Structure 1
């Protein structure tokens, strides 16, 4: 048994952790006030994974959620005290080789006071609406047949 590779990031209302395990089975996520316990079987070799995390601060276990996809298990830990920044995920300052910061989703939210929809609400919407292509956002001009596209022009003859 080995720990699953994971990425995390902090938001005003919640902390998000993504356990990067493809084709996971037997996923178990237990939320405790100060601890997260994750286990599953996954990957091409059906390896057993287990992660136990003593959290930096308290969470609301009843409001915390997780969602399994083909590529990962995404967890949303609802903070017991929203608005407080977490400088790290764990209580201890020790560097965990399986855990990294998700810089693609990291945001310095402490100075951003006008978040219209909290990340937790977006996560809840995502969990309720994960489905087919109908859930994808519209891209401006994606269906415009009249729009001139530079790659539609005739290529010049080679000399």
Structure 2
């Protein structure tokens, strides 16, 4: 399968057992087939290339006993304990073929022999020779990570650009608030308007990414958030200069940028197949106070805009006209505010479910890994 990736697999042994640790988190739909000659494993999870479908296929150096072997799925990994067949002996390698596999590493926590000295002597194991082999393999395992593919580079650069943009907006607005809060309230668009227009326009790509299969997520939450923000920014605020000097606009920009300065670093790590517990916790916790505040701020901006658009009649269409239709934009804004309740509930319930799944294995603030 072209889309199948290999997770990192760490292995160690005793004279009678093989230990495997598959570096794959949040595993779902795993399929395990262990025979005397080998192991086949397929699952979906979060590994070296982020959330994806991973597979391993190992032909063992010597036969094993599947009936006496076992495995368990943990939060951060999958562990195998495989019983060797026949008389116990130290294998010079895990695989039957002497082929270098960059995803297969030595687990040095599992190479320490737990047998007594007399047992080691009885099995006539040349420890010095074996440790030289381990040292040689360790040096050969210092591989340079392959250069990321085009998709990974693109997603990383996109998230980096968005992170820099929102960080500038948050920093600039915070600086002016500290320096002169009255100036910041009345000049929000002058301070960060251009940057906000740029990053929100670029955010349209977040609707396109899942549709093209670049990321594994539903396009609906991204569509609701991006279109909602852009409607408020480009249509409601962008076409009515009197809203540029309202204090609620400053609050709205600060809320939006606060959400994104923790969201995009999480995405940057994800596309590289990495995870940081603190960043993950912030990404799935910051929304708890910020999402409701953002919904309220957007609703206030729209309510404040209604009398302005009643005066200017901009975007309204009156009869008679060639299309024989009428449209009164202030009424649309009034009805649009009613959408915030179901839309807000959907967004927050989606984030709550994601938080339960993402944070269950974090070792942070008293949360224990499974």
Instruction: State the TM-score, normalizing by the size of structure 1.
Output: 0.66
What residue number does 2:174 align with?
A: none
Q: Which has the higher contact order (CA 8 A, sep 6+)?
A: 1
Asked whether the equivalents of residues 5 and 19 of structure 1 are also in contact (C-alpha less than 8 Å), the reply is: yes
CA distance in 2, matches of 1:31, 1:81: 17
Asked whether the equivalents of residues 12 and 109 of structure 2 are also in contact (C-alpha less than 8 Å), the reply is: no
What residue number does 2:108 align with?
A: 103
What residue number does 2:79 align with?
A: 74
Kindly state the Cα deviation for residue 21 of structure 1 after the two structures are TM-superposed.
0.3
Asked whether the equivalents of residues 85 and 110 of structure 1 are also in contact (C-alpha less than 8 Å), the reply is: no
Instruction: Tell me how large the CA RMSD over aligned residues is.
Output: 2.0
**Greater fraction helix:** 2
What residue number does 1:15 align with?
A: 18
Q: In the comparison of the two structures, how many residue pairs are matched? A: 115
SS of 2:110 mapped into structure 1: coil
Asked whether the equivalents of residues 36 and 54 of structure 1 are also in contact (C-alpha less than 8 Å), the reply is: yes
The counterpart of 2:98, out of the listed 93, 104, 107, is 93
| Long gaps (5+) in structure 1 | 116-159
The counterpart of 1:36, out of the listed 17, 33, 39, is 39
Larger radius of gyration: 2
Asked whether the equivalents of residues 21 and 77 of structure 2 are also in contact (C-alpha less than 8 Å), the reply is: yes
| 82 and 66 in structure 1: CA distance in 2 versus 1, 3 angstrom threshold | farther
- Runs of 4+ aligned structure 1 residues displaced above 2 Å come to 108-115
Instruction: State the TM-score, normalizing by the size of structure 2.
Output: 0.30
